[in-house]
Amino acid sequence: MKKIRGMSAVCVALSLMAGGSALLAQKADKKAEVKRSKAEELDIAVLLKAVDTVEAGQAAATGTTVSWESNHFIRAQEGTTYVPFTVQLDKTKLTSPSAAVYVRVAKKGAAPPAPSKDSKDKEAPLYPWENVYFATVSPEGKVARAFQVPGGDYDVYIAVKDKGTVEKADKNYNPNVAILKKELSVPDFNAPELATSSVILATAIQPAATTALEDPYVFGPMQIVPSRDGKYKKMDSLEVVYWIYGVSGDTAGKPDVLIENTFNQKTAEGEKFFNKTQPQALNAQSLPPDFTAKSGPLPGTLQVPLTSFPPGDYRLEIKITDKAAGKTVTQNVAFTVLAS
């Protein structure tokens, strides 16, 4: 029942991408800001004002329903954590295929900062992260973007409206804005301990068809297509991807890691063992010749056809052992195999 994706084919790409190519949209959008139309500038002003109002303690607008669907945590550059996320919009309340989306990430419990009066500090960010996107809404009403912050507790504000065509507000201008506030604890991956990123259940790991600015699950030339609900058909394959941090090296500086994947089925009588894959070794024999423990995070990948899985709910236990250090970390992820 097992099929493990060959590590040498994706190891270098995934490890380097996770460590150095996370979306830095605040910097990437600098040039785009000077090209924005008057209508887009008005959209931005409306969204910022709406979030300012909510952050100050007033009730959020609910004109366009927006809800938090999912997110993941991945170690990124400069000691920060990369957080790709997906929100669900009510498309029946949108009149345009495109939406203006404002993301603000504020330290939890912190008072809204006052703008700097130092002329030399005009571009200093007021928040750990904020950005505006003009995004195409998927047919299912989903928008995926990302932010990147140090580990800690945050209030995440997402404001959404139809991408507007009005260039100047007047007394008849009454845009439909929705705001979501999400409390989020972002892990800090800087400690030199054996750990992993979020485990991403995917439907595919494939060559990228777009950019990281449009899809936060694009890492360099690769694109992860995450499963939005963890539900698979029997004809599907379960795809799993994650990154392993804090791995020590053997006497030659090479990683020596063992991954054990165990599937447990949930039944009316309780959970029971279903099956497991062959242990997966990440070491000098299976990794690229020049890969060392200092090369970057180790990517963990798994691809398992589900044809032999009876319909039902399962728990995948991933046990990762750093043999050189004698340390172990375990992750668990739930998924469902549908009857049809």
162 or 316: which leads in pLDDT: 316
Residue 22's nearest CA partner among 78, 60, 92 is 78
Q: pLDDT tens digits for 130-166?
A: 999 999 999 889 999 999 999 999 999 999 998 888 8
Quickly tell me which residue has 């990369």 as its tokens: 82
- Relative to beta strand 327-337, strand 231-232 is parallel
- Torsion sign across C-alpha atoms 125, 80, 332, 304: positive
Per-residue pLDDT of 28-50, as tens digits, reads: 444 444 488 899 999 999 999 99
Mean per-residue pLDDT for 282-298? Answer: 89
Residue 9: strand, helix, or coil:
helix
**Residue 119 pLDDT exceeds 70:** no
Say which DSSP state 64 is in: S
Is pLDDT at 326 greater than 60 in this prediction? Answer: yes
15 has pLDDT over 70: no
Q: Which residues pair with 164 in a beta bridge?
A: none
pTM above 0.85, yes or no: yes
173-201: average pLDDT: 92
- Whole-number Å distance between alpha carbons of 86 and 340: 26
DSSP bridge pairs for 312: 337
Q: Can you read off the two tokens belonging to residue 75?
A: 């170690």
What band does 12 get if pLDDT is binned at 50, 70 and 90?
very low
d(CA 277, CA 263): 9
